[in-house]
């Protein structure tokens, strides 16, 4: 079987890249081992233009967010599924000073597209502690990552474009103008295999910094009107169930849920929420984060038929569509990649 591109991995990165290539008329073959638990399936899935403890605008927010919302909605239509949930994120203020700061920022053109309203007093006090008011965001929500991945998996299977098996880079043969893997040949192979980059003979030199993250699922009796986000995020996903996360562990890189993370999340949750809840589940995954918190995208420094699209970390839902578009145009039209994401920035390590 011969295709234009082999894609290794079908998490958020592999799914979105494969779709961009197919939508541009290229043939793909995706290799993904369904037994391998990846972070994409247990991710919070937030897309959030104002992030972090200091509440700063997300890197490239003005470019990322208009594209990602349109892209995911179009993908829903094309594959006949629903997984994008457009819902405001509410970030309670921690002080009068923070309220005053955001009152000022709300009039700045740089922030206006992302601010729905600034509240000077409690808006959601029946659910959370927000005595100083808070910031309600636009262009925000979450992606049902597991739902998207499974729907696209079925879409790939229907086109005979999926192989549910592991992919061993050691068995990849480099040929003039392409690659071969067993009975399959392609012009290029693109690795979208997340934390497995660390053991990939072609890209193990990249400074990956994987991080373990854990989430809780809680049940509440109230119907939440927004995603609450301060210290932890609380995402209502239906039937009174909410996702709560997340933790960050750079040391214990396994997929086991821990009591330590449970206690950390409950402590932060109790500082935010003001209603009873029940913990009903806990999950863990490994995020493919990088040393400089920027993606790994580009073509191998020695082998032009091998590329990587990964290192998307905690913001994969937001980053994947924009950079998949960039990468496809880079590979097919020789357009420049943003240097902050291009693996050329690490060629000195090869």
- Assessment of whether the complete model's pTM goes beyond 0.75: yes
Domain endpoint, select from 238, 254, 287? 287
The kind and range of the H/E element at 61 are helix 61-79
- The values of phi and psi at residue 103, to 5°, are -60, -40
CATH number for the domain that contains residue 309: 3.50.50.60
The mean pLDDT value of the chain amounts to 94
Contact predicate 313/287, CB 8 Å:
yes
Cα–Cα dist 266/82, whole Å: 30
The kind and range of the H/E element at 21 are helix 12-23
Number of domains comprising the chain: 2
Domain co-membership, 230 together with 247: yes
In a domain, 115, yes or no: no
- The values of phi and psi at residue 120, to 5°, are -90, 0
pLDDT at 38: 61
Domain co-membership, 274 together with 326: no
Domain co-membership, 217 together with 254: yes
Tens digit of each residue's pLDDT (9 = 90 or more) over 155-207: 999 999 999 999 999 999 999 999 999 999 999 999 999 999 999 999 999 99
Q: Range of 279's domain?
A: 211-287
In a domain, 95, yes or no: no
Domain co-membership, 277 together with 320: no
pLDDT at 54: 81
- Residue 259, exposed/middle/buried by CB under 10 A (0-12, 13-18, 19+)? exposed
- The values of phi and psi at residue 14, to 5°, are -65, -40
- SS3 for 324-336 is HHHHHHHHHHCCC
Domain co-membership, 308 together with 190: yes
Domain endpoint, select from 268, 287, 306? 287
Contacts of range 2-5, beta carbons closer than 8 Å, 24 or more positions apart: 2/184, 2/185, 2/186, 3/27, 3/28, 3/29, 3/161, 3/184, 3/185, 3/186, 4/28, 4/186, 4/187, 4/188, 5/29, 5/186, 5/187, 5/188, 5/189, 5/190
Q: Please give the average per-residue pLDDT across 27-37, as a whole number.
A: 86
- The values of phi and psi at residue 75, to 5°, are -65, -40
- The values of phi and psi at residue 341, to 5°, are -105, -20
* DSSP state for residue 166 in the 8-state scheme: -
Domain co-membership, 196 together with 217: no
Domain endpoint, select from 243, 261, 287? 287
pLDDT at 64: 96
Domain co-membership, 37 together with 19: yes
Domain co-membership, 160 together with 263: no
Tens digit of each residue's pLDDT (9 = 90 or more) over 89-145: 999 999 999 999 999 999 999 999 999 999 999 999 999 999 999 999 999 999 999
Domain co-membership, 259 together with 218: yes
Cα–Cα dist 142/85, whole Å: 5
Contact predicate 224/236, CB 8 Å:
yes
Domain co-membership, 323 together with 261: no
In a domain, 141, yes or no: no
In a domain, 10, yes or no: yes
Domain co-membership, 271 together with 177: no
Tell me the pairing of strands 227-230 and 232-238: antiparallel
Q: Return the bridge partners of 241, or none.
A: 219, 238
pLDDT at 37: 53
* DSSP H stretches of helix in 159-288: 259-272
pLDDT at 52: 81
CATH number for the domain that contains residue 231: 3.30.9.10
- Residue 28, exposed/middle/buried by CB under 10 A (0-12, 13-18, 19+)? buried
Residues 6 or more apart from 152 whose CB is under 8 A from it? 10, 15, 18, 19, 75, 79
pLDDT-wise least confident of 60-64, 287-291, 315-319: 287-291
In a domain, 109, yes or no: no
Neighbours of 239 (CB within 10 A): 6
Domain co-membership, 283 together with 295: no
Cα–Cα dist 294/297, whole Å: 9
């Amino acid at each position: 079987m011969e295709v234009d591109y082999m894609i290794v991995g079908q998490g958020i990165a592999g799914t979105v890249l494969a779709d961009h290539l197919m939508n541009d008329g290229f043939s793909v073959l995706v290799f993904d081992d369904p037994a391998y638990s990846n972070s994409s399936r247990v991710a919070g899935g937030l897309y959030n233009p104002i992030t972090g403890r200091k509440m700063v605008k997300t890197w490239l927010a003005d470019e990322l967010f208009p594209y990602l919302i349109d892209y995911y909605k179009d993908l829903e239509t094309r594959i006949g599924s629903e997984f994008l949930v457009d819902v405001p994120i509410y970030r309670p203020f921690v002080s009068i000073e923070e309220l005053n700061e955001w009152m000022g920022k709300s009039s700045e053109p740089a922030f206006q597209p992302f601010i729905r309203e600034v509240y000077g007093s409690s808006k959601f006090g029946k659910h959370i502690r927000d005595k100083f008011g808070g910031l309600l965001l636009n262009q925000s929500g979450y992606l049902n990552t597991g739902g998207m991945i499974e729907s696209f998996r079925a879409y790939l299977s229907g086109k005979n474009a999926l192989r549910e098996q592991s992919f061993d880079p050691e068995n990849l043969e480099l040929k003039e103008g392409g690659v071969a893997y067993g009975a399959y040949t392609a012009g290029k192979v693109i690795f979208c295999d997340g934390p497995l980059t660390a053991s990939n003979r072609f890209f193990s030199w990249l400074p990956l910094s994987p991080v373990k993250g854990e989430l809780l699922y809680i049940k509440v009796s109230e119907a939440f009107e927004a995603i609450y986000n301060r210290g932890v995020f609380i995402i209502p996903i239906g039937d009174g169930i909410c996702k709560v996360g997340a933790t960050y562990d750079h040391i214990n890189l396994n997929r086991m849920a821990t009591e330590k993370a449970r206690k950390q999340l409950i402590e932060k949750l109790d500082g935010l929420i003001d209603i009873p809840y029940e913990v009903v589940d806990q999950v863990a995954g490994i995020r493919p984060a990088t040393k400089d918190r920027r993606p790994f995208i580009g073509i191998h420094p020695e082998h032009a038929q091998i590329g990587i699209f990964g290192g998307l970390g905690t913001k994969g839902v937001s980053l994947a569509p924009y950079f998949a578009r960039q990468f496809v145009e880079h590979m097919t039209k020789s357009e420049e990649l943003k240097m902050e994401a291009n693996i050329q920035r690490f060629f000195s390590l090869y």
